Amino acid sequence: MSKLWGGRFTKETNQLVEEFTASIEFDQIMAKEDIAGSIAHATMLGECGIIEIDEAELIIEGLNKILKKVEKNEVQFSIENEDIHMNIESLLIEEIGPVGGKLHTGRSRNDQVATDMHLFLKNNTSSIIDFIEEVQNKIVIQAKKHVNTIMPGYTHLQRAQPVSFAHHLLAYFWMLERDKSRFKDSLKRVDISPLGAGALAGTTFPINRQRTAELLGFSDIYHNSLDAVSDRDFIVEFLSDSSLLMTHISRLSEEFVIWSSQEFQFIELDDAFCTGSSIMPQKKNPDVPELLRGKTGRVYGSLIGLLTVLKGLPLAYNKDMQEDKEGMFDTVYTVVGALQLLSGIIDTMKVNENRMYEAVKNDYSNATDLADYLVRKNIPFRQAHEIVGKTVLYAIENHKFLGELNLEEFKMINEVFEEDIYHTLNPKTVMEARISEGGTSTNEVWKQIMKAEECLSITTNMV
């Protein structure tokens, strides 16, 4: 079968060139978007009198038949037709005859592919926002169970101060809330129609771009035809937002790997999200969180790859831009899969409250409160810091924790210490003492949970 663009050529395309330049193996994913764009375009052509109404209706009828076959996986796409656009057009001509060739009037594959990608990302970005919210819901559910569960808070992976486990989990809620906000904001740049921009300069036919935008559910059109066919900022932005989302997923996954280790034993991951060893029968490996960490690099690679493709391109369309799709498709699948798995991990994990509390009791993470105690006794903080440092050193040398020192030992270090120091050093007291807004005290964590639920409720009501 000759190429749809083959009139100017006297030789068949080299087979290797055909295989190397074809994109149908991956852009067939956008078959439904391509058909939707074609139906809108055909509708507009008929309404504007560019083709006859009955021709437009025949084209639309043929496209709908192809759509049904696509949905049933009954279509065999051909590499000879290069991409999804020419495959659909060839199938249409086979279905309805030569009138199918009128579909391409007033448009180019350049604006067609851009339209497909806008539609694809618009739909999938909305889905990703929903999946983020599902993870947030699971975080809130676990947080409400563990407001009073005390665990060591860390800096430099060294025990720092006791915190509520709910407080720790909710930090990821707010990371995801920012991710969700970025994806929502990016929809403003996705929700723009390039259709009708032609190859680069528009078209000589009196088309109605606003009408096709309306039919496809876009809120606006590109106002410059060169920009319309060459813009891939919206994909870069999606990959950037996805990269940051995966960073947050990776950080939480790292926590799960650490917390579920024999050394920590803070949580136990459900068997459904772990695997075993082929040689060591006792092993229960946190493979899913580990792979979520690993997949993060894959998404970063797609972002850097597309930025590299775009950095030296003159206007308007260049074949290099065919490399914009695989990374976008792969990132959508990676992010959606990661969010679904993360939701399941959070929902099913078991929290070892006693183990966490034992860890907090057997460390020096209450030292800051010891310094604050001295400050309340009118000792300047810097001096208090030095006194507590010496107290910690004394305790370490004597193989004790701060709460195990007797009052005589405290008074030996400084006379201002009284019996109430033991209440101050209690992990529960230490946690509850963080009363500043956004702190880890019970009241503040409950306020945070209420705010989180309010955020989720607002989103739900908006939908």
Give the catalytic positions in this structure: 156, 277
Which residues have C-beta within 8 Å of that of residue 357, sequence separation ≥ 6? Answer: 149, 150, 151, 427
User: Residue 254 corresponds to which amino acid?
Assistant: E
Task: Tell me the residue type at 211.
Answer: R
Closest C-alpha to 244, from 314, 288, 186: 186
Contact in structure between 25 and 79 (CB atoms under 8 Å): yes
- CA distances 447 to 161, 257, 289, 368, Å, are 21, 29, 30, 24
- The torsion angle over the Cα atoms of residues 64, 70, 73 and 77, rounded to 10 degrees, is 130
Whether the Cβ atoms of residue 425 and residue 405 lie closer than 8 Å to each other:
no
User: Quick one: CA torsion of 83, 88, 89, 91, rounded to 10 degrees?
Assistant: 120
Closest CA to 37 of 10, 63, 76: 63
Strands 158-164 and 150-155: antiparallel
Greatest Cα pair distance, the chain, in angstroms, is 101
Tokens 């921009």 correspond to what residue? 197
CA distance 259 to 135: 19
Specify the length of the chain in residues: 463
Count of other CB atoms within 10 angstroms of residue 355:
15
The one-character DSSP state at 2 is -
Backbone φ, ψ for residue 74 (5° rounding): -100, 5
Angle at which helix 367-376 crosses helix 381-397, to 10 degrees, equals 140
Which residue has tokens 């960073």? 247
Q: Three-state DSSP class for 351?
A: strand
3-state secondary structure of 110: helix
Strand 350-351 relative to strand 150-155, pairing:
unpaired
Query: Where would I find the H helices in 82-221?
Result: 84-96, 109-145, 165-190, 209-216
Locate tokens 């193996």: which residue? 25
Peptide bond before residue 316 is cis, with ω within 30 degrees of 0? yes
